[in-house]
Amino acid sequence: MRKNRFIFFLIFTSLIIFAEQKDNEYCEINHREPVGAAWKKCEGKLVKITGKISNFALQHPTGMHDTFDPEAKEAKRKYETYIDTGTSQIVITSDEKIECSGDIEVEGIVDIVDLGGEEGTKTSYKNVWIQVQSYRCK
């Protein structure tokens, strides 16, 4: 009986360790790529990117990651920060205000926001947004 418990413990512990390692793996992406197939494969997955805090925001919709708290009957707003990656501007959303002034490294979950409108119109907006899990000013 003890031997069976020990074997179960070893298997259970191994599964936890390997699961944690897998959870910490990043989806490989060249974050300088424009929105497209390269980013699509990372949607919903953890990425690590670097970029520069933008001096100005391009035209992005806002509030895409805000949530509604039914108990408080109010919206929970996310802070939105814009990062230049070389070829495009990525929107990152966070629970706290990001105070970096230059380069930044971000870990987070990719969300491709696609309004689905007719191409060439404002409603055709499609861009990468990242829900920040951690960041580091560089």
CA–CA separation, 66 vs 72, rounded Å?
Answer: 14
Instruction: Give the three-state DSSP class for 37.
Output: helix
Q: Each residue of 93-129: pLDDT tens digit?
A: 998 999 998 999 999 999 888 778 888 777 777 788 8
Q: Is pTM, for the whole model, over 0.85? A: no
CATH class of 26-137: mainly beta
C-alpha separations of 91 from 10, 13, 16, 88, 101 in Å: 43, 38, 33, 10, 15
CA–CA separation, 54 vs 101, rounded Å?
Answer: 9
CA–CA separation, 46 vs 27, rounded Å?
Answer: 6
Show pLDDT as tens, one digit a residue, over the chain (138 residues).
555 554 444 454 444 444 443 456 999 888 777 777 788 899 999 999 999 999 877 766 666 666 677 787 777 778 889 899 877 888 999 989 999 989 999 999 998 887 788 887 777 777 888 999 999 999
Among 59, 65, 33, residue whose Cα is nearest residue 47: 33
What is the pLDDT at residue 65? Answer: 63
For residue 58, count other CB atoms closer than 10 A to its CB. Answer: 11
What is the pLDDT at residue 33? Answer: 74
For the chain, the domains span 26-137
| Cα 44 from chain centre | 8
Residues 6+ apart with CB under 8 A from 129: 64, 65, 90, 91, 92, 93, 110, 111, 112, 113
